[in-house]
């Protein structure tokens, strides 16, 4: 079964959301939607909230997608449309080194990110507004938010999958089953 399902991947920074979501999108033959793209405007400025949510609604308008992102407003507005929500929940000692490596690598390469063309600078990578410091400051709060998200979605027809070390192939099988269970359900 290809091109089936609507799936959302959440987790703290460095958890592996984007990597897993890209792998799953390829295996499941669905469109990959990285929510960082509509969220970040030029100069690392957050997009206007209404513009962001409108873009997310448009990106998630199709019958099959996998969304990657932990933006509270988008999760609150749209996660209930998913067939399954996957929460990648590795311990901080696993996610933080990944995040540091990724951030420093991007700063070194000056890699343009998303359609706004933002790049990680050394100041941005290591300064007070760094994603590394952000990850440290929100780790516990995001885990609590995901526990609340799962409580909120539990009564709905959304499969909830929490993994500490995701295996893409096994998850793809679980997501196919979740989509098949909601065949024809459109929200």
Q: Is residue 120 part of a domain?
A: yes
Indicate whether 67 pLDDT > 50: yes
Model pTM?
0.86
- E-state strands within 19-105: 31-34, 40-41, 45-46, 65-68, 84-88
Question: What does the pLDDT look like over 136-152, one tens digit per residue?
Answer: 999 999 999 999 999 99
Neighbours of 105 (CB within 10 A): 12
pLDDT of residue 183: 42
- Residue pLDDT, tens place only, 154-187: 888 888 999 887 776 778 777 877 777 754 333 2
CB 163 within 8 A of CB 69: no
Question: Would 187 be classed as within a structural domain?
Answer: no
Task: Tell me the average pLDDT of the chain.
Answer: 87
Instruction: Please report whether residue 1 resides in a domain.
Output: no
Residues 64-74, buried b or exposed e (16+ Cβ, 10 A)? bbbbbbbbeeb
> What does the block give as tokens for 187?
């929200």
pLDDT for position 184: 36
- Looking at the 3D structure of the chain, how many domains does it have? 1
- Displacement of CA 99 from its chain's centroid (Å): 14
User: In 10 A of CB 180, how many CB atoms?
Assistant: 12
Can you give the CATH number for the domain in which 25 is found?
3.40.50.300
186 occurs within a structural domain:
no
Q: What is the mean pLDDT of residues 49-67?
A: 94
How high is the pLDDT of residue 3?
A: 66
**What pLDDT was estimated at residue 41?**
93
Please report whether residue 159 resides in a domain.
yes
Which structural domain, as residue segments, surrounds residue 56? 6-180
Say which residue, 34 or 111, is predicted with more confidence: 34
Report the distance separating Cα 54 and Cα 110, nearest Å: 29
Within a domain: residue 41? yes
From the centroid of its chain, how far is CA 160?
14
pLDDT of 181: 72
In this prediction, residues 14-42 reach a mean pLDDT of: 92
Give Cα 7 distance to the centre of its chain: 10
State what percent of residues in the chain have pLDDT above 90.
53
Q: Is residue 21 domain-resident? A: yes
Residue 185 located in a structural domain: no
């Amino acid at each position: 079964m290809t091109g089936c399902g609507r799936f959302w991947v959440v987790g703290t920074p460095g958890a592996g959301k984007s990597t897993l979501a890209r792998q799953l999108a390829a295996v499941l033959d669905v469109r990959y939607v990285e929510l960082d793209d509509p969220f970040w405007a030029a100069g690392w400025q957050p997009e206007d909230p209404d513009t962001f949510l409108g873009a997310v609604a448009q990106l998630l308008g199709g019958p099959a997608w996998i969304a990657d992102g932990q933006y509270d407003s988008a999760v609150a507005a749209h996660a209930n449309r998913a067939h399954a929500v996957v929460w990648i929940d590795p311990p901080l000692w696993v996610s933080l080194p990944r995040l540091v490596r990724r951030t420093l690598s991007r700063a070194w390469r000056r890699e343009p990110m998303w359609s706004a063309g933002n790049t990680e600078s050394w100041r941005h990578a290591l300064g007070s507004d760094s994603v590394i410091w952000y990850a440290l400051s929100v780790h516990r709060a995001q885990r609590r938010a995901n526990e609340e998200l799962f409580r909120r979605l539990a009564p709905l027809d959304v499969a909830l999958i929490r993994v500490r070390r995701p295996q893409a192939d096994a998850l793809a099988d679980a997501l196919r089953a979740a989509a098949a269970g909601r065949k024809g359900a459109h929200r």
